[in-house]
C-alpha cells in the first residue's frame, strides 16, 4: 500500500482533507484541497518562517498567492466543488512519490465532463510546483479551463498582503503579495503548456490573474494542460533554481520523484505482520519528510508543520522533543538546522527572559522568526462569554528551554557532532541554565531548591509548584551545562576563553553543579507513584469520562481557572510519564509500570504529544501489546477525521508532526529498542505479539546501518 485515498466527496471533511492530502518540500506546504477552491475552503501554500501581523490580531505565518487555482466552465456554468454536486469523486496521495491526484465527474446540460489532476510540490527544487490538469467529455461541445493565480488567499488573522502586484509577461503570469508589517514580498509565477488547439485569453482583477482556455471538445478525447509554477520571496536564503520560462513539467516531475526515492531509501520502515501499522507509520514519516527545512538557514518546524497558519505557524518544544529524533537518524543536516535555529534566535530568548526579570535565555513558547514570542496572554476564548481567556502558556512553560538542551544531547549522541557546541550550542545551553538558576527558590528552613509557579506539559493545571517533569528537566540542563562546558574547555579552548570572559565560567559552573545537586526531585511515594506537582494527590480523583460529562459546550477549554479538569487529577497529556520515558535509566521497571497504571486512566490525551510517550514507556516496561494501540493512535493522527480541532473558539486543526515524530520514536526506540552505546546502535526489541519483525535504516555518527529484527534475532549491519 502506498496511497491514501477517498472515493466519495464529503463537504464537511474539507478541512480534514486539506491536511490528509498535504504535499510539501520544507520551503512551503500545499494543502490537499481541490484546485477550484477559494479561501472559504481553506486552500493555501504555507510558507516556512515568513510571518506578518495585522493590527492587534495574532501574528502568524504567511500563505503565498495560489498558482494552482483552476476550474472548468460548461455551457456558461462554473463546475466546481462543493458548489455543484458531482457524479463521482476520487482523491488520493501517493506518499512515496509525493503526488496528489483527483478525478471528478459532473453531469452538465450537454453530458458528462470528467476532470483529472495530478500535482506535486517539487522535492528536487523547493521553489517549484507542477500540475497536470485534464478534461474529457462524453459529448462534442465546448469547455473552458480557467486557470491562473489567486491572490485572494485564505488567512486566519489577515489579510497579510496589503499590496498585490499583478503582471503578465511573455506568457508568464505573476502575482506578488507584499506584507504590511515587514514589507516582505511573496511571488507566485506560472506558465501553462497545452497539447491541443485552443483560444486563450487573459483576465485580471485587483487580486488575481487568469487564463481562459476555450476548447471545442470531441467526445472521449482528453485535453491536458501542464502547469509549472515557482514560489519565491524577498527573504529567501537560496535563489530560485528553476527558471519558469524553461521549466518542463515532465522533467520536474521525474526529478521530484527521484528526490523522493532517495529520501525513502533511508527513511522507510518495514513491519512484518502488520500492513496497517506499516502504512500508518510511513504515512507519518511522509509528513515529516514534507516539512523538513532542507537547505534553509535558521528555520525550524512549526507545531502544525506547513499545513496552514494554525498555532500562528510558530515553533514549539514539539520540534526538539518529538521530531528531531527522526531527522538526526535519517537526515542529520536537517536536525542540525533545527538546532541552529535555536542558536540563531537566542537574542529573542534573552529578550523574553529579561521581560520576565530573569537572566539567560527563556525560549518562546510560540517562537517565530528571530525567536519572537508569538503567544499572547489571552490565548483562547471563553465559549460562553465570547471573551478572551487569560492563560499562562506564554509566561510559565519554562520547560521549553530545557527541551532545547535535551535536543542538543540527543543530537550529539546520535551524530557525534560535538562541534555544534563551538558553533553556539554551548552558549545556548549556558544561557538556558542561567535562566533556570534565576528561577530557583529556597524556603527559609529548606535545604533544597524549589521551582514555583509553572505550567508543566499538562496544561490543564496552571501555576503549580515543583512540577516533577519541569524540575527534572532543569536538573538535566544544569548537568549538561557543566558537562559540555568542561568538554569545550578541553577541545575548543579559544571558544571556551571567549565564553569565560563573557560569563566568568570559573564561578558560574560550580553554581550550576550545586544547583543540579540541590534541586528538589520528586520521588515515588509508598505506592511507587510520583506526584505530578505539589498538591496533585489532593485534587478530586475523577475519571476522564466523568470530567467530560461536565462539559456544557464541547468546545470548552478543560484547563485554566475555570476548566472542568483544573480541580481534578485528570490531565491533558503525558507529564510524569514523559519524564520517566526520558530518564528511563533512573527508574526501575516496577516504578515505571506503577506510574503508567496510575496516570494513563487519568489522561485525556487531549494533545497529540501524549499517546507516543505512553507507548514508549510501555515498551520500556516490556509490554509491547499495551504500547501498540497508543502507538497506532499517534501514527494515525492524520489518517482519519475526528481529532481535536478547537480550543475554546480557536481553530487548531492541521497536521500533527509531533505525533508523527512520536510514532517514529515509539516504533524505533520503543518496539525496536534502539539505543546508542559508545557511538554504535544497539537494539533490545520489544515487538507486539502479532509482529514478526522490523526493518529500517538508520544513521548513527555518520554511518548508515541496516537494522533487521525478527522474533529471535537482531541483525545490524553497516551499509
Judged on CB neighbours under 10 Å (0-12, 13-18, 19+), 86 is middle
Answer yes or no: is pLDDT of 241 > 80: no
Cross-strand partners of 180: none
- Average pLDDT, integer, range 76-102: 97
Answer yes or no: is pLDDT of 250 > 90: yes
Q: What is the pLDDT confidence band of residue 252, given thresholds at 50, 70 and 90?
A: very high
Please say whether the beta carbons of 106 and 7 come within 8 A. Answer: no
Cis omega (within 30 of 0) for bond into 159: yes
- Report residue 664 as a C-alpha cell: 517514529
- SS3 state at 91: strand
- Report residue 76 as a C-alpha cell: 456558461
Query: 197 vs 31, 73, 135, 175, 215, CA distance in Å?
Result: 32, 17, 14, 27, 7
Length of the chain: 719
Answer yes or no: is pLDDT of 578 > 70: yes
For residues 14 and 657, what is the distance between their CA atoms, to the nearest angstrom?
A: 20
- Average pLDDT, integer, range 236-240: 79
Q: What is the pLDDT confidence band of residue 379, given thresholds at 50, 70 and 90?
A: confident
Answer yes or no: is pLDDT of 369 > 90: yes
Q: What is the pLDDT confidence band of residue 568, given thresholds at 50, 70 and 90?
A: very high
For residues 38 and 152, what is the distance between their CA atoms, to the nearest angstrom?
A: 8
For residues 564 and 547, what is the distance between their CA atoms, to the nearest angstrom?
A: 6
Active site residue 459: yes
- Quickly list H helices, 492-535: 493-503, 505-518
φ, ψ of residue 650 to 5 degrees: the values are -95, 125
Predicted confidence at residue 647, as pLDDT, reads 63
Predicted confidence at residue 643, as pLDDT, reads 72
Q: Which helix (H) or strand (E) holds 249?
A: helix 249-267
pLDDT 10s digits, 17-47: 999 999 999 999 999 999 999 999 999 999 9
For residues 162 and 169, what is the distance between their CA atoms, to the nearest angstrom?
A: 23
Average pLDDT of the chain is 96
- SS3 state at 592: helix
User: What are the strands, taking DSSP E only, across 218-310?
Assistant: 222-233, 269-272
End-to-end CA distance of the chain: 26
Q: Which residues contact 182 (CB under 8 A, 6 or more apart)?
A: 51, 52
Predicted confidence at residue 648, as pLDDT, reads 63
Q: What is the pLDDT confidence band of residue 653, given thresholds at 50, 70 and 90?
A: confident
Please say whether the beta carbons of 387 and 459 come within 8 A. Answer: no
- Report residue 117 as a C-alpha cell: 489532476
Q: Which residue, among 78, 70, 25, has the nearest Cα to 43 in the 3D structure?
A: 70
Choosing from 459, 479, 556, 660, the catalytic residue is 459
Strand order in the sheet with 222-233: 3-6, 88-94, 99-107, 112-121, 128-137, 222-233, 185-194, 172-179, 161-169
- SS3 state at 449: strand
For residues 71 and 86, what is the distance between their CA atoms, to the nearest angstrom?
A: 14
Q: Which residue, among 673, 616, 674, 573, has the nearest Cα to 328 in the 3D structure?
A: 674
Q: Which residue, among 637, 689, 696, has the nearest Cα to 663 in the 3D structure?
A: 637
Predicted confidence at residue 242, as pLDDT, reads 66
Query: How many Cβ atoms sit within 10 Å of the Cβ of residue 109?
Result: 9
Please say whether the beta carbons of 93 and 21 come within 8 A. Answer: yes
Please say whether the beta carbons of 654 and 19 come within 8 A. Answer: yes
For residues 571 and 600, what is the distance between their CA atoms, to the nearest angstrom?
A: 9
Q: What is the pLDDT confidence band of residue 281, given thresholds at 50, 70 and 90?
A: very high
Q: Which residue, among 542, 527, 516, has the nearest Cα to 436 in the 3D structure?
A: 516
For residues 591 and 574, what is the distance between their CA atoms, to the nearest angstrom?
A: 16
- Report residue 678 as a C-alpha cell: 559508545
Query: 456 vs 303, 380, 573, 575, CA distance in Å?
Result: 18, 18, 10, 7
> What pTM does this model have?
0.96
pLDDT 10s digits, 457-489: 999 999 999 999 999 999 999 999 999 999 999
For residues 284 and 288, what is the distance between their CA atoms, to the nearest angstrom?
A: 7
Predicted confidence at residue 246, as pLDDT, reads 87
For residues 263 and 93, what is the distance between their CA atoms, to the nearest angstrom?
A: 17
- Percent of the chain whose predicted confidence (pLDDT) is above 70: 99
Predicted confidence at residue 245, as pLDDT, reads 86
φ, ψ of residue 636 to 5 degrees: the values are -100, 15
Regarding predicted confidence, which is higher, 386 or 518? 518
Answer yes or no: is pLDDT of 495 > 90: yes
DSSP 202-228: EEE-SSEEEEEEEEEE-TT-EEEEEEE
Q: What is the pLDDT confidence band of residue 649, given thresholds at 50, 70 and 90?
A: low
Predicted confidence at residue 456, as pLDDT, reads 98
Domain at 3-241: CATH code: 2.70.98.40
Strand order in the sheet with 693-700: 269-272, 693-700, 703-710, 714-718
pLDDT 10s digits, 216-228: 999 999 999 999 9
Answer yes or no: is pLDDT of 297 > 80: yes
Query: How many Cβ atoms sit within 10 Å of the Cβ of residue 430?
Result: 26
Predicted confidence at residue 608, as pLDDT, reads 86
Show the 3-state SS of 705-716.
EEEEEECCCEEE
Query: 215 vs 34, 86, 141, 223, CA distance in Å?
Result: 22, 21, 8, 8
DSSP letter assigned to residue 266: H
Cross-strand partners of 6: 91
User: How open is the CA angle 459-460-464, to the nearest 5 degrees?
Assistant: 75
For residues 304 and 637, what is the distance between their CA atoms, to the nearest angstrom?
A: 12
Q: Which residue, among 11, 9, 16, has the nearest Cα to 643 in the 3D structure?
A: 16
- Percent of the chain whose predicted confidence (pLDDT) is above 90: 92
For residues 214 and 99, what is the distance between their CA atoms, to the nearest angstrom?
A: 27
User: What are the strands, taking DSSP E only, across 573-702?
Assistant: 646-647, 650-651, 674-677, 680-683, 693-700
For residues 344 and 420, what is the distance between their CA atoms, to the nearest angstrom?
A: 12
Cross-strand partners of 639: none
Amino acid at each position: 500500500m502506498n496511497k491514501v485515498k477517498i472515493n466519495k466527496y464529503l463537504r464537511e471533511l474539507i478541512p480534514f482533507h486539506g491536511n490528509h492530502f498535504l504535499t510539501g518540500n520544507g520551503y512551503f506546504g500545499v494543502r490537499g484541497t481541490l484546485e477550484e477552491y477559494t479561501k472559504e475552503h481553506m486552500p493555501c501554500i504555507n510558507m516556512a518562517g515568513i510571518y506578518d501581523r495585522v493590527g492587534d490580531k495574532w501574528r502568524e505565518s504567511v500563505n503565498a498567492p495560489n498558482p494552482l487555482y483552476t476550474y472548468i466552465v460548461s455551457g456558461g456554468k462554473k463546475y466546481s466543488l462543493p458548489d455543484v454536486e458531482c457524479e463521482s469523486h476520487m482523491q488520493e496521495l501517493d506518499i512515496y512519490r509525493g503526488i496528489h491526484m483527483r478525478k471528478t465527474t459532473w453531469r452538465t446540460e450537454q453530458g458528462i465532463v470528467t476532470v483529472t489532476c495530478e500535482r506535486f510540490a517539487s522535492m528536487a527544487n523547493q521553489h517549484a510546483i507542477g500540475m497536470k490538469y485534464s478534461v474529457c467529455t462524453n459529448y462534442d461541445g465546448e469547455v473552458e479551463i480557467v486557470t491562473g493565480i489567486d491572490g485572494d488567499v485564505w488567512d486566519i488573522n489577515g489579510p497579510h498582503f496589503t499590496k498585490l502586484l499583478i503582471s503578465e509577461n511573455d506568457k508568464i503570469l505573476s502575482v506578488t503579495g507584499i506584507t504590511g508589517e515587514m514589507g516582505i514580498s511573496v511571488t507566485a509565477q506560472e506558465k501553462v503548456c497545452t497539447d491541443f488547439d485552443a483560444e486563450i485569453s487573459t483576465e485580471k482583477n485587483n487580486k488575481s490573474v487568469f487564463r481562459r482556455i476555450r476548447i471545442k471538445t470531441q467526445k472521449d478525447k482528453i485535453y491536458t494542460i501542464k502547469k509549472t509554477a515557482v514560489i519565491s520571496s524577498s527573504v529567501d536564503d537560496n535563489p530560485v533554481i528553476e527558471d519558469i520560462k524553461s521549466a518542463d513539467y515532465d522533467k520536474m516531475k521525474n526529478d521530484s520523484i527521484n528526490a523522493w526515492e532517495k529520501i525513502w531509501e533511508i527513511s522507510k520502515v518495514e513491519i512484518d505482520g502488520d500492513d496497517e501499522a506499516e502504512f500508518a507509520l510511513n504515512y507519518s514519516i511522509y509528513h515529516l519528510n514534507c516539512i523538513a527545512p532542507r537547505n534553509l538557514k535558521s528555520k525550524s518546524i512549526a507545531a502544525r508543520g506547513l499545513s496552514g497558519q494554525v498555532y500562528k505557524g510558530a515553533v514549539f518544544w514539539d520540534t526538539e522533543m518529538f521530531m528531531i529524533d527522526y531527522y538526526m537518524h535519517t537526515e542529520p543536516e536537517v536536525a542540525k538546522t533545527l538546532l541552529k535555529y535555536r542558536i540563531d534566535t537566542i537574542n529573542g530568548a534573552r529578550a523574553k527572559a529579561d521581560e520576565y526579570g530573569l537572566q539567560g535565555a527563556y525560549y518562546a513558547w510560540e517562537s517565530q522568526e528571530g525567536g519572537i514570542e508569538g503567544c499572547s496572554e489571552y490565548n483562547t476564548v471563553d465559549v460562553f462569554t465570547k471573551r478572551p481567556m487569560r492563560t499562562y502558556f506564554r509566561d510559565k512553560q519554562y520547560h521549553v528551554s530545557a527541551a532545547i538542551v535535551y535536543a542538543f544531547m540527543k543530537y550529539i549522541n546520535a551524530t557525534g557532532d560535538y562541534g555544534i557546541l563551538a558553533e553556539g550550542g554551548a552558549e545556548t545551553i549556558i544561557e538556558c541554565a542561567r535562566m533556570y538558576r534565576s528561577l530557583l527558590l529556597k524556603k527559609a528552613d529548606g535545604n533544597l531548591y524549589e521551582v514555583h509557579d509553572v505550567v508543566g506539559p499538562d496544561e490543564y493545571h496552571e501555576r503549580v509548584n515543583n512540577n516533577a517533569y519541569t524540575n527534572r528537566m532543569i536538573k538535566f540542563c544544569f548537568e549538561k551545562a557543566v558537562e559540555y562546558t568542561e568538554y569545550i574547555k578541553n577541545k575548543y579552548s579559544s571558544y571556551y576563553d571567549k565564553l569565560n570572559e563573557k560569563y566568568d565560567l570559573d564561578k558560574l559552573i560550580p553554581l550550576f553543579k550545586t544547583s543540579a545537586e540541590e534541586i528538589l526531585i520528586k520521588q515515588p511515594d509508598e505506592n511507587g507513584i510520583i506526584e505530578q506537582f505539589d498538591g496533585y494527590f489532593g485534587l478530586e480523583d475523577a475519571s476522564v469520562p466523568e470530567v467530560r460529562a461536565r462539559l456544557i459546550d464541547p468546545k470548552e477549554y478543560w484547563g485554566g481557572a475555570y476548566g472542568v479538569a483544573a480541580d481534578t487529577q485528570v490531565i491533558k497529556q503525558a507529564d510524569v510519564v514523559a519524564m520517566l520515558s526520558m530518564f528511563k535509566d533512573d527508574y526501575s521497571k516496577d516504578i515505571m509500570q506503577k506510574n503508567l497504571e496510575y496516570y494513563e486512566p487519568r489522561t485525556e490525551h487531549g494533545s497529540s504529544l501524549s499517546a507516543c510517550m505512553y507507548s514508549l514507556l510501555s515498551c520500556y516496561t516490556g509490554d509491547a501489546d499495551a504500547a501498540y494501540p497508543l502507538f497506532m493512535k499517534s501514527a494515525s493522527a492524520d489518517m482519519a477525521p475526528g481529532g481535536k480541532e478547537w480550543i475554546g473558539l480557536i481553530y487548531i486543526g492541521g497536521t500533527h508532526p509531533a505525533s508523527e515524530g512520536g510514532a517514529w520514536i515509539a516504533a524505533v526506540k520503543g518496539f525496536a529498542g534502539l539505543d546508542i552505546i559508545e557511538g554504535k546502535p544497539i537494539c533490545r526489541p520489544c515487538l507486539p505479539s502479532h509482529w514478526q519483525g522490523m526493518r529500517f535504516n538508520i544513521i548513527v555518527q555518520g554511518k548508515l546501518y541496516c537494522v533487521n529484527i525478527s522474533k529471535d534475532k537482531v541483525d545490524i549491519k553497516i551499509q
